[in-house]
Amino acid sequence: NAGVTQTPKFRILKIGQSMTLQCTQDMNHNYMYWYRQDPGMGLKLIYYSVGAGITDKGEVPNGYNVSRSTTEDFPLRLELAAPSQTSVYFCASSPGTNNEQFFGPGTRLTVL
């Protein structure tokens, strides 16, 4: 089992560019999450999904979009990148509510 994988590991974007952060899990988990982690700020939930075709906003969804067409994949789309989106992005998955969340290795994004 690879667990939760994320690509790319690093990316530098210019202001106004767009990109998709990829997340895949091979544990057949229904629940998937996207977080961002800024220095000294902990993890903030961006979006989450409780199953294919179902997504919902988290704490900080502005500037991001998600889709969930399969159980395995949960891509995060950044439209019109801004410097405020410079962060480390983590994808996580969980078998259900009130279960352990398994995290991917993260994507470090810099917007200049």
What is the binding site for other proteins (CB under 8 A)? 4, 31, 33, 40-45, 48, 50, 58-59, 90, 92, 94, 97-98, 100-106
Shortest CB 38 distance to other proteins, Å:
10
Q: Per-residue DSSP letters for the chain? A: ---EEEE-SEEEE-TT--EEEEEEESS--SEEEEEEE-TTS-EEEEEEEEETTEEEE-S--TTEEE--SSSSB--EEE-S--GGG-EEEEEEEESSTTSPPEE---EEEEE-
Shortest CB 36 distance to other proteins, Å:
11
Closer Cβ to other proteins, 81 or 106, answer by number:
106
Closer Cβ to other proteins, 74 or 90, answer by number:
90
